[in-house]
Amino acid sequence: MPSNLNLNCPVGLEWDSQDYSCPYDSLFVILYDIWKENPDKWTNNFANINRNMQALAYGFREVHEENVSLENIRDAIRKDLHNLDSNKFPMGKNSASVADLGFTLLKSTNENAISQVYCTKCDYSGMEYSDQLGYIINIEKSKVSSTQKWLDNLEIPCRQKCDECSNKLTHQIDYKEAPDLLLLEYPHTNIKSSHKIKIKIQNEYKVLSLRGIIYHGNNHFCSRIISPDGTIWYNDGIATGNNSVEDGHLSTISYKELKICNQKTLVLAVYA
């Protein structure tokens, strides 16, 4: 179980009991912990993704300068998303999906990837073309043992069949530039959460570290924030409010223990 509150803990978010906020709380505390390490760098990175992430980064700066609370920024972003799609992002006691939140916030508005379809049975391969690839990807149907294994061969589902042999085509997609932030969704799987992932672009590698995990159970989301030194912090807007509690270290926790937190199961991991 988590230990007592620590004054040096990452900032948390107080749960909104009127407009259930746990999907936003669980993701935003991780993103804010990443952002505050290098505000200028991450403000630029967020802004290059889309306007929603730009607004979040500008909000984080206001929090950092103690002009507003993190709850204020959460509520403002949530209102914008509700206006965008009230079904996906409802108000009141109808909770949103943290996956829908992630896919909306991390959707790229740029042609940031190269795609190609090819056949693994014959020699057919299509032309390469520019594509869009968000910075959150669902990998739960992938038959891999770990998040790193999946990244070694980045593929997305493809329904097309080969014109030459009728075999189902494989859709290979690669980022043009390695991302600084990547969210992977893999609930209900045995995929291990690699502590670090290496993304290969051409002949160069970028290493991202596991910086947070979001869990779900009993219609509620909570999260673990992982500091650069590997310290794990538990945050639940109901139980811990705007604090977090120390919850072990990445070097001593097992993959099985990473998958479960307070009777809730892993749904999404954040790398940066």
Q: Cite the beta strand spans of the chain per DSSP E.
A: 113-118, 129-131, 136-138, 155-156, 170-175, 182-185, 196-201, 204-217, 220-226, 231-235, 245-249, 260-261, 264-271
* 228 falls within a domain: yes
* 32 falls within a domain: yes
* 224 falls within a domain: yes
For the record, the structure tokens of 234 come out as 């538990």
Higher model confidence: residue 269 or residue 5? 269
* 117 falls within a domain: no
Higher model confidence: residue 92 or residue 271? 271
User: Which letter does DSSP use for residue 53 in this model?
Assistant: H
Mean pLDDT of the chain: 90
* 235 falls within a domain: yes
* 4 falls within a domain: no
Whose tokens are 């206006």? That residue is 83
Strand partners, 266: 215
Per-residue pLDDT averaged across 18-45, rounded? 96
For the record, the structure tokens of 20 come out as 């259930």
Higher model confidence: residue 251 or residue 93? 251
pLDDT in tens, 150-209: 777 677 668 888 888 988 888 888 888 889 999 999 888 888 999 999 987 877 889 999
* 231 falls within a domain: yes
Question: Count of alpha carbons within 13 Å of 131, Cβ hemisphere only?
Answer: 16
* 127 falls within a domain: no
Angle at the Cα of 178 (from 156 to 105), degrees rounded to 5? 65
pTM: 0.91
The whole domain housing 30 covers: 22-108+135-143+178-271
Query: With contact defined as beta carbons under 8 Å apart, do 169 and 119 qualify?
Result: yes
pLDDT in tens, 89-135: 999 888 889 999 999 999 988 898 888 888 888 888 889 999 988 89
User: Looking at residue 8, what is its pLDDT?
Assistant: 67
Q: How many domains does the chain have?
A: 1
pLDDT in tens, 43-80: 999 999 999 999 999 999 999 999 999 999 999 999 99
